[in-house]
Amino acid sequence: MSNTDYYIKSYCSIKNQRVSLNGSILFKDESKSYIDFIKATYKNQNVKYPKFFKMDNLSKLAFLAADVLLKNEELNTESENNIAIVFSNSASSLDTDRKHQESIQNKESYYPSPAVFVYTLPNICIGEISIKYKLYSENSFFIFDNFNADHLFTYSNSLLSSNKADAILCGWVEFDKEDNYEAFLYLVSDKGNIKHTKQNITTLYNT
């Protein structure tokens, strides 16, 4: 199968207090803080997954963006799904890394939180999504200075053409302090209406 046979089946964006799916706004909220916004989004999307509240900020963002996409896929979460995950960002898990660092800063008050520490890697958010949707396939989390459509395109095509996965959930999920959050995730497979090209990925990301 050549590269041109793959398609962007659906895409989701969460930024500027808005959640959109395939270009249409699903939810918007005037909450000033990210924490209030993401909680309002969770309730609006009727997610019902208590572990969400234990996640760090990056995982909450990635989890909800993935949830918006995957709940329309009607996956059987009782069996394994061969969907790979390829994520990227620039801040890695820096927001949580800082929280952990603060908790070990003072030797007189040295109480690192295990619940914070377990999120001091960016790819933990991939695990959260994989657990919920039973995604048993390849996964990678890349760190770039900026959104890198080139790399995501090439890597996804490689996974699909080598039959490593039936579909790829990929994109950019970034959280670095309250006012800097953005998720842009999309599903690539051999079905869909938008051709999987670097240009289309870039266009959708910038929408």
One-letter amino acid identity for 168?
I
For residue 201, give the nearest of 1, 64, 11, 63 by alpha carbon. 11
Read off φ and ψ for residue 71, nearest 5 degrees.
-70, -20
37 Ramachandran zone, left/alpha/beta (phi>0; psi -120 to 50): alpha
Q: Which of 1, 35, 112, 195 binds another protein (CB under 8 A)?
A: 112
d(CA 194, CA 6): 9
Task: Write out the H or E segment, with its range, that includes residue 24.
Answer: strand 24-28
Integer angstrom CA distances of residue 27 from 18, 37, 179: 6, 10, 18
Of residues 110 and 206, the one with the C-beta less far from another protein: 110
Segment interacting with another protein, rule: CB under 8 A, options 23-31, 110-118, 157-165, 194-202: 110-118
101 binds another protein per the rule CB under 8 A: no
Distance CA 41, CA 118 (A): 24
Binding mask 54-83 for another protein (x = CB under 8 A): x-----------------------------
What's the min distance (Å) between Cβ of 118 and another protein? Answer: 6
In the complex with another protein, which residue's Cβ is closer, 52 or 153? 52
CB of 52 to another protein, least distance (A): 8
**Torsion angle defined by CA atoms of residues 40, 46, 51 and 55, in that order, rounded to the nearest 10 degrees:** -40
Using CB under 8 A, which of 25, 35, 115, 131 touches another protein? 115
How far apart are the two ends of the chain, measured CA to CA in Å? 29
CA angle (158, 162, 168) in 5-degree steps:
55
- Which of 21, 47, 118, 121 is in the footprint of another protein by CB under 8 A? 118
String marking each residue 14-43 x if it binds another protein according to CB under 8 A? ------------------------------
Q: Which of 2, 30, 50, 74 binds another protein (CB under 8 A)?
A: 50
CB nearer to another protein: give 26 or 118. 118
Contact set with another protein (CB under 8 A): 50, 52-54, 111-115, 118
